[in-house]
Structure 1
Amino acid sequence: MTYWLDMPAPPALPVMYLQAALRRSVTGRALPDRGLRCSLEVDPQHLSRYRELCGHADDGTLPPTYPHVLAFPLQMHLLTANDFPFPLLGLVHLENRIRVMRPLDTRGPFRVSVISENLHAHPRGAAFDLIARLEDAEGLLWEGTSRLLCRGTTPGTAGRERRQRRAAALSEIAHWSVPADIGRAYARVSGDYNPIHLSPLTARLFGFDRPIAHGLWNKARVLAAMADRLPKSGYEVEACFHRPLVLPGEAHLMAGDAGESGSFTVTGAKGKRHLDGCWRPLPFLAEETVPLALAAQS
């Protein structure tokens, strides 16, 4: 049974980064049965900076990936707590799903909450879901699920069946050059200062020759380019992350025709696949309890 810890405000990040840097080992085989939540308001200037960085127009609503930024301090608090079994540094973001239940009005106040669940075996270790939710006075507005991998360990529970995505005919609808400093720029907006995104020196500490772009920046940039294909609400977008986008880099967005559902993929200059995914309306049959599909191995 989950119990909730209500916090007076989003926690400060610097102390949690120190905790993450000092912890490198697996300490358990079960996720904590605790969730975190707090109330907050949207800062218009911060929202404007996010829109500009990710390519979103100011249409009076929150970009569909922006609630991830609102939830990030709570996620960090959960992932760096003493009872969380896996070290934060080294976790791999396999995939992400967002669900937009109602139009994301910028007016608050909002309540954001985070919880971890669905620990299961993965071919490269143990994976789990980190779930964030955004609510207003009328109820649930948005839900985001990030699947994370801790490599080289074994969970204490079994996973569920995975879903397969059907291939579709795609055509290029956008391409953009990704500057070398996009990792630092996104870190300043999102608070996500993972060393693999910041500089060649810090990236090499974790096995990368050059820094790589944040997966959620990739997805945000894709959804900004597909804004004319997505409704204001009542839909979900699922994305699987494959090869990292090394900085500086180039991205080509391929997508299906506009419609209530479709698929997309992002490749680099040499055709290497960085992410792919799909969008579709809600609700979609009775899959509320079906977890995200495991990311393809590359």
Structure 2
Amino acid sequence: MSLQWNELDTPPNLPELYWKAATRRKITGTELPEYGLRRQVSVQPAKLAAYRQVCGFTENGLLPPTYPHVLAFALQMQLLTAKDFPFPLLGLIHLANRIRVLRPMGGVGDLRVGVHVDNLQPHAKGAVFDLLTSVDDALGPLWEAQSRMLCRGVKLSGEAPAEEPQGEASLSELTRWQAPADIGRRYARVSGDYNPIHLSAVSARMFGFPQAIAHGLWNKARTLAALSEHLPAANIEIAVDFRKPVRLPSEVCLLASAAGSSGDLRLTGAGDLEHMSGHWQPLA
């Protein structure tokens, strides 16, 4: 069955969508919507510059490889707070993220963003699904992303797929940085993602966290900014698994393979606590 696309003429209303998210706490079903949302968006230079500053990217004439997530965020919110989406948005856990940069993202202005969900599967702690995002320019597909999301407490028939064992890569320390206490609020201002678990210790405790934690996509963006000299500008896939959250404030250490067409990365904290692991490779 081909996916049905709904084209939006007006931007999603984020305050209204946050209200929907805050007032919905129940699981209402076990079937994902069979449609996607699309919308034309424009890159705004001032917002892009603010994002670069918060995430550590330099101005090189290209969109940062993680920036399309920001362009798609409001559309994702609209899809994940729709009446026929069965899971409450607050409480979803971002387990993994994979992006594919198909062509160099330079001279980018007007884009078409599409989002949909797919691949609902049982998980040891509930159910997982993929939030899929695509970005096209006038020449065609430009960028793609797959975010693996967990909803606790969902009961699905069947067995959860076994996790693939992680190989041991030879990594060396590349750099380290501070994740300051206010980085959740600063990233929220440039991304639109005001999830309470990232904003303050007070709001994080409402959801079971003793401290605010950094956004997973800030961790990935800050990592790719640090790896910018390692990675090609296009024809690349960068996949990460989010492990233990980065509590704010804290210091983190980035370990990586030597520069090359493929490699591995790991983000660690005090006591070698693993926050994120992943790899990059050329597109097949």
Task: Report the Cα distance in structure 2 between the residues aligned to 1:35 and 1:48, rounded to whole angstroms.
Answer: 29
Task: Report the Cα distance in structure 2 between the residues aligned to 1:53 and 1:9, rounded to whole angstroms.
Answer: 28
What's the C-alpha RMSD, in Å, of the aligned pairs? 1.3
Indicate the residue corresponding to 2:213 in structure 1.
Answer: 212
> Relative to 1, partners in 2 of residues 1:38 and 1:161: Cα closer, same or farther, differing over 3 Å?
farther
The equivalences for 1:1-298 within 5 A come to 1=1, 2-155=3-156, 163-283=164-284
Task: Report the Cα distance in structure 2 between the residues aligned to 1:8 and 1:105, rounded to whole angstroms.
Answer: 26
Deviations 1:183-232 (A, max 9, x none): 00000110000000001111000001110000000000000000011101
Task: Report the Cα distance in structure 2 between the residues aligned to 1:162 and 1:31, rounded to whole angstroms.
Answer: 23
Deviations 1:94-140 (A, max 9, x none): 00000000001242211000000000011111000001111001110
Supply the AA of the counterpart residue of 1:5. N
Counterpart contact for 1:119–1:155, Cα < 8 Å: no
For structure 1, list consecutive stretches of 5 or more residues without a partner in the other structure: 284-298
Indicate the residue corresponding to 1:291 in structure 2.
Answer: none
Task: Report the Cα distance in structure 2 between the residues aligned to 1:160 and 1:143, rounded to whole angstroms.
Answer: 24
Task: Report the Cα distance in structure 1 between the residues aligned to 2:96 and 2:248, rounded to whole angstroms.
Answer: 20
Q: Runs of at least 4 residues of structure 1 off by over 6 A?
A: 157-161
Task: Report the Cα distance in structure 2 between the residues aligned to 1:159 and 1:235, rounded to whole angstroms.
Answer: 29
> Relative to 1, partners in 2 of residues 1:207 and 1:100: Cα closer, same or farther, differing over 3 Å?
same
Task: Report the Cα distance in structure 1 between the residues aligned to 2:28 and 2:215, rounded to whole angstroms.
Answer: 27
Counterpart contact for 2:63–2:108, Cα < 8 Å: no
Q: How high is the TM-score relative to the length of structure 2?
A: 0.97
Instruction: Give the secondary structure class of the aligned counterpart of 2:272.
Output: coil
Task: Report the Cα distance in structure 2 between the residues aligned to 1:107 and 1:6, rounded to whole angstroms.
Answer: 21
Counterpart contact for 2:101–2:143, Cα < 8 Å: yes
Indicate the residue corresponding to 1:289 in structure 2.
Answer: none
Q: Please state how far the C-alpha of 1:160 moved relative to its aligned partner.
A: 6.2
Task: Report the Cα distance in structure 1 between the residues aligned to 2:197 and 2:62, rounded to whole angstroms.
Answer: 31
Counterpart contact for 1:184–1:197, Cα < 8 Å: yes
> Relative to 1, partners in 2 of residues 1:159 and 1:43: Cα closer, same or farther, differing over 3 Å?
farther
Q: Please state how far the C-alpha of 1:270 moved relative to its aligned partner.
A: 2.3
Counterpart contact for 1:9–1:40, Cα < 8 Å: no
Supply the AA of the counterpart residue of 2:151. C
